[in-house]
Amino acid sequence: MIHEILPVGMLQCNCSVFCDEQTREAMVVDPGDEIDSVLQVLAKHKCKVTAIVITHAHIDHIGGAQKLKQATGAPVYMNANDIELQKMMAVQAGWLGMRTPEAVEIDVEADDGDRLTVGATEVTVLHTPGHTQGSISLWMPSEGKLVAGDTLFRDSIGRTDLPGGDGRQILRSIHDKLMPLPDETVVIPGHGGNTTIGREREFNFFLQRL
Ligand SMILES: [Zn+2]
């Protein structure tokens, strides 16, 4: 499985491009901005997007989704609990002093336990609310990878002071859905460098009392 991570936009959201070497089917996670660069990566690997997945409806993660959808025709997956937040895009743009991006229509509601496939690789949706009510993480068992959105970071966890945030809930989500994963699981957070479940279990200050 080809995997490229592009930090995009003002807040450097990690946009992941996964592409199956055989079928050339691709999944793009969190196309927040810089869609031209995302399309260049796809073209370089001769990949065709079959799924656009939004881990949560913050502007830095969803801002470029409509542009990517228009360019590729791929369906957009998001958890329905973030639709309220998605409707606040102009407010979110105001927080950052940026232009409101074109709204995107969600094609598929991504619920806990849902599975999608990228070529031969299975991706399981884990509903991990707390950073936002509709936050999801993506678990790819055969790759040993977890795309964590803004739920879990290297040495930190997602902020919970924005609308829809809940500090107790994010800890419960991490404890119930992420900590059961194998220690060697590579975590790709929504911002910053990769980590592993084992490393965060041992060293992440926010998880010490779980
Ligand atoms: Zn966020």
Report percent pLDDT > 90 for the chain: 98
Q: How far is the CA of 58 from the centre of ligand 1 (A)?
A: 5
Q: How far is the CA of 56 from the centre of ligand 1 (A)?
A: 7
pLDDT tens readout for residues 50-92: 999 999 999 999 999 999 999 999 999 999 999 999 999 999 9
Amino acid present at 186: V
pLDDT at 145: 98
Q: How far is the CA of 21 from the centre of ligand 1 (A)?
A: 30
Residue 165 pLDDT more than 90? yes
The dihedral built from the CA positions of residue 155, 208, 210 and 85, taken in this order, carries a sign that is negative
pLDDT band at 177 (very low <50, low <70, confident <90, very high): very high
Residue 210 pLDDT more than 90? no
Which has the closest alpha carbon to 78: 20, 31, 34, 25? 31
Going across the sheet that includes 195-196, the strands are 115-118, 121-127, 136-140, 145-149, 186-189, 195-196
Q: How far is the CA of 39 from the centre of ligand 1 (A)?
A: 23
pLDDT tens readout for residues 117-150: 999 999 999 999 999 999 999 999 999 999 999 9
In whole angstroms, give the CA distance from residue 26 to residue 99: 28
